Amino acid sequence: MAVIVILALVAIFVGLRLYSVLGERTGHEQQPAIPTAADPESRTAPRVAQPGSGVIADVDSGDLAFVPTAGPGIRALLSADSSFDVARFLEGAKAAYRLILESFWKGDLETIRSHVDDNVYETFAAAVAQRDKDGFKLDNRLVAIDQAVISEASLDRSVAIVTVRLEADIAAVTRDKSGAVVAGSLSDAVQTRDVWTFRRDVAQRDPNWLLIETDEDE
């Protein structure tokens, strides 16, 4: 019984903290789309129009769209890609955060595959395989994304890299093969702070961004 409880706690930890199961940035990323939350046809949400909307913008109920130190990188990105818009990029990043998290919790690797780089995908797949081997299922819920702010941005020639700091409330439950709850509670959400990094070659016509790294925001 002690072994089961320990494994259950490990499964919850993996489900809540994706940074612990993801790979390092590789620089060999593909460019599949990041979808919006509701419209399956709007798979290019982080590619945004309306240039000139401003570098510092109010999103998420008045919070700044990015920290001041990210300003030079954002301005460089706006100069290189006139279609980029900060606020709509953040909406796309939040949609990707929800979709990838929920797909990982369900073990839906097919959905994840087109939105992450090879290293990230391989580590996701390994985590799902281990979870299946242990006989656990995650019944997690993303209750709300409280905030999304760009914490870093850079442009190296035509390669743009944008890092987003996300705060969210997540409720987690781990179930065994029979569906019985072995740990966690859906009525007790935990606040999480994650950092997700996206990449895009702005010289390419493909407007889509790729998740290349995640980490915990300390």
CATH number for 162: 3.10.450.240
Q: Which of 74, 52, 59, 68 is nearest to 145 (CA)?
A: 59
For 42, the domain range is: 2-216
- Prediction pTM value: 0.72
Q: Structural domain tally of the chain?
A: 1
Task: Return the pLDDT at 18.
Answer: 43
Task: Return the pLDDT at 17.
Answer: 45
Task: Return the pLDDT at 218.
Answer: 66
How many CA atoms does the CB half-sphere of 182 hold within 13 Å? 23
Task: Return the pLDDT at 184.
Answer: 82
- Which stretches in the chain have pLDDT values below 70? 1-63, 218
Task: Return the pLDDT at 94.
Answer: 96
